[in-house]
Structure 1
């Protein structure tokens, strides 16, 4: 049985440029660091994975995390660390070497790999079973279709029987215009950060978004009033850090 998360209904959507500005304001005006945002996003993704994909019991379940070198990858690695501390067996697959990762995601990777129930490997070496795949390959900064190792990892996830949970956007989804590139993750559920990205709430995106959830990363409501155009958004996370924005009724985990 899939646990119930509070249903918030449609929310305002933001594009890539707006999210860049949200991140800038968070760090420069509100003194909320990338590390803090990453921790909040990762904790929410870990809770969602535990509740909807791991039957509320992560111990001895097998989690594969696909991580890029940016903030989205760092958030997925943070989620994997949480799940590992809850007893899950974690396999880490990165789309690039450490020399091409940002400082904060690289630190998250090093911390994760220090845990005894975590291994780093290629997807060719991952056996079965796998209980859930965490997609943190490409975030809202995507430009053009995924290429190289990221594209191959997307195809691997789409061909695997285990459900994929995407962080913020399914890798391959272009948040600047709401289009889906090829290849793109076909997620069972997407946990978008702060607010849904452009086009996510349309039914045409359901095959790649899955059930759409929204995560609280502690964006102050007054921050949205600093945007152009201004968003007058009441606090939406008073009762839960995770909200269900739109269900994909035909999909089950």
Structure 2
């Protein structure tokens, strides 16, 4: 059985506003166009935060802990691949399961995948048994419609594995436009959401899918939020990279 540690390492914070899919599209676009903060940088920050929560909560103190990383072909999958690299460097035994062939990866996630191949990290077709943790990086805030095909199969497998699941940004199957869950949806033990909580993640009705909710700073300048089409005022991370918010 995989034991969890107390998560005193992550300060509690309240009062963070939520953002929907359209808002995050604007944030991502303006990060690049206005501030010159490249997608690679945001992805690196996201993956580091995911790896940090994974390590501190589930893996610290264990000898070569096993981690299965489920990665989609977009930005969410790319963040999970960054986390895979970080965890492998920290001593975890990491196995990667892609939702689609590597040739279907978007350019930036493909670059992350190439690094992992160079490190000799295993890529497997079928999800392995016996891992101590599953990272869910299948679908992020861009979900449109219910998961289907191999993605749906991987969600179903993860939910039935009995292994703790840590989701990146949102549990796969969560719709950041509506705040509702499609079926199937990942039933996560915890979620590391990025920049701002996605609309609906703190709703008690979806707590079974979200689990404990952490918020990670991916270096969005506060001034960006203040000048959005629908301006948002945010608290400060105050020197912290990761906060516990629910």
- TM-score bracket relative to the smaller structure: over 0.9
The residue aligned with 1:119 is 122
Question: Matches of residues 28-39 of structure 1 in structure 2 within 5 Å?
Answer: 28-39=33-44
The residue aligned with 2:212 is 211
The residue aligned with 1:179 is 180
Whether 2:54 is the aligned partner of 1:49: answer yes
> Between Structure 1 and Structure 2, how many residues are aligned?
241
TM (normalized to structure 1)?
A: 0.93
* Structure 2 unaligned blocks of 5 or more: none
SS at match of 1:153: helix
SS at match of 2:36: coil
The residue aligned with 2:27 is 22
Q: Displacement of 1:123 after TM fit? A: 2.7
Cα distance change, pair 10–122 in 1 and its aligned pair in 2 (3 A): farther
Partners of 2:209 and 2:129 in 1: CA distance:
25
* Structure 1 unaligned blocks of 5 or more: 247-253
Asked if the contact 1:65–1:135 (Cα under 8 Å) also holds between the matched residues in 2, the reply is yes
The residue aligned with 2:14 is 9
Partners of 1:23 and 1:201 in 2: CA distance:
22
Question: Matches of residues 132-171 of structure 1 in structure 2 within 5 Å?
Answer: 132-171=133-172
Partners of 1:202 and 1:178 in 2: CA distance:
8
The residue aligned with 1:251 is none
Whether 2:65 is the aligned partner of 1:61: answer yes
* Runs of 4+, deviation exceeding 3 Å: none
Question: Matches of residues 97-108 of structure 1 in structure 2 within 5 Å?
Answer: 97-108=101-112
The residue aligned with 2:90 is 86
The residue aligned with 1:202 is 203
Partners of 1:146 and 1:10 in 2: CA distance:
31
Q: Displacement of 1:110 after TM fit? A: 1.4
The residue aligned with 1:244 is 244
RMSD (CA atoms): 1.1
